[in-house]
Structure 1
Amino acid sequence: MKANEIRSMSETELNAKLAELKKDLFMLRMQHATNHLDNPTRISATRRDIARVLTVIREKQLGR
């Protein structure tokens, strides 16, 4: 997910996307713990997406 895509979302969409990403991260962690995860790099990619969403949410709160 690119930062431009995230910046074009509204705050409610961002909060929904954040909840979805956190759920995905939880599921990826569970799959990793049970050795059913095919691509372990998806965990770090999902964490980066969460960080991007949180950054844009904070930017919007500060009015930038």
Structure 2
Amino acid sequence: MKIKEVREMDAKTLAETKENLQEKLAQMQLNHTVTPLENPSQIKAVRRDIARLNTEIRQRELNK
């Protein structure tokens, strides 16, 4: 997910996407502890996407 895509989302979509990604991250981490993922860098990518969403949400709060 690119930052440009994140900036185009509305507030409701940002919150929903963040929640979905957090659930996905938790599931991936659980699966990775049981059986190693084929590509563990996926966890890093999801964490970065969540960080991008958090950053955009915070910027919007500060601009209000």
Q: Return the alpha-carbon distance in structure 1 between the equivalents of residues 4 and 37 of structure 2.
A: 29
What is the SS of the residue equivalent to 1:30?
helix
Q: Return the alpha-carbon distance in structure 2 between the equivalents of residues 42 and 35 of structure 1.
A: 15
Deviation readout 1:16-52 (Å, 9 max, x if unpaired): 0000000110111011011152210001110000000
Q: Return the alpha-carbon distance in structure 2 between the equivalents of residues 43 and 13 of structure 1.
A: 22
- Unaligned regions of 5+ residues in structure 2, if any? none
Aligned-residue Cα RMSD (Å) equals 1.2
Give the number of aligned pairs. 64
Instruction: Tell me the percent identity.
Output: 38
- Aligned pairs for 1:13-52 (under 5 A) are 13-52=13-52
Aligned to 2:62: 62
Q: What's the TM-score, normalizing by structure 2?
A: 0.93
What is the SS of the residue equivalent to 1:49?
helix
Q: Return the alpha-carbon distance in structure 2 between the equivalents of residues 26 and 37 of structure 1.
A: 13
Runs ≥4 residues deviating over 3 A:
none
Q: What's the TM-score, normalizing by structure 1?
A: 0.93
